[in-house]
Amino acid sequence: MRRISLQLMLVIVTAVLRGQEPAHLHETAPWEPHAMAYAYFTPDDGFFMIPVAMMENDRWHLELRYNYEDFKTASLWAGPVFSWEGAVSGYVAPMLGVVAGNTMGWGVGVEAEASYGILNVYIENEFVVDVRSSDGTFFYSWTELTGSITDNLRIGAVLQRTRVLHDVEDVSAGPLFGATMYMIDAAVHWLGPGSDYQYWIVTLDIAL
């Protein structure tokens, strides 16, 4: 009887101690879904869309893309998120991906962002290996440097390296203007101003 009482007391004490543990040790940040779209207006390929579905929390980042690495090609990317706060705040998300469609293969990539005052830099890089042809292996890069005009408006510059456009390697840069309203972020990018190949990209990011 005494042994049963001691065991019961041990169970009660253990339950109480667990109940006193900090709540944040058990909390998992909720997933935040985003619907994104890149609308391209080009002289050769005309108008086309790159839709992206994204989910993330403070630990993981997931993305499903279409037309991103190549036309009629889907890709799935996932990786951990490492974030920090301070005078310079930001995050880094290294990712692994699989690619299927006109390009078939796998890839490694990284998304990173850092902010200091009114300045913000965003980097999105990936290296894709085409398992069917070495010609399809490619390094893609997108970099934005912006400054905030107000809490909702920003201006800056963008640099992109891609091969989606007219099936050749392309490195273009130009100005951008962005705005945020409620749960919607939109931006207009003008790539290659003054060059023989100029095009526009309108991006839309909706937090669901």
Q: Residue 3 falls within a domain, yes or no?
A: no
CA distance 189 to 61: 25
Mean pLDDT of the chain, nearest integer: 87
Q: Residue 34 falls within a domain, yes or no?
A: yes
Is 0.95 surpassed by the pTM of this model?
no
Q: Residue 199 falls within a domain, yes or no?
A: yes
Domain of residue 39: give its range. Answer: 27-207
Q: Residue 68 falls within a domain, yes or no?
A: yes
Task: Write the CATH number for 63.
Answer: 2.40.160.40
Tally the C-alpha atoms within 13 A of residue 106's C-alpha that lie toward its C-beta.
4
pLDDT for position 20: 47
Q: Residue 21 falls within a domain, yes or no?
A: no
Q: Residue 4 falls within a domain, yes or no?
A: no
CA 50 to chain centre: 14
pLDDT digits (tens, 9 = 90+) for 8-34: 444 443 444 454 445 444 466 799 999
CA 130 to chain centre: 22
pLDDT digits (tens, 9 = 90+) for 120-135: 999 999 999 999 988 8
pLDDT digits (tens, 9 = 90+) for 159-196: 999 887 765 558 899 999 999 999 999 999 999 999 88
80, 112, 78: which is closest to 98 by C-alpha?
Answer: 78
Tally the domains of the chain. 1
pLDDT digits (tens, 9 = 90+) for 72-100: 999 999 999 999 999 999 999 999 999 99
Give the type of residue at 11: V
Q: Residue 33 falls within a domain, yes or no?
A: yes
Cβ atoms within 10 Å, residue 40:
20
Average pLDDT over residues 139-150: 96
Q: Residue 170 falls within a domain, yes or no?
A: yes
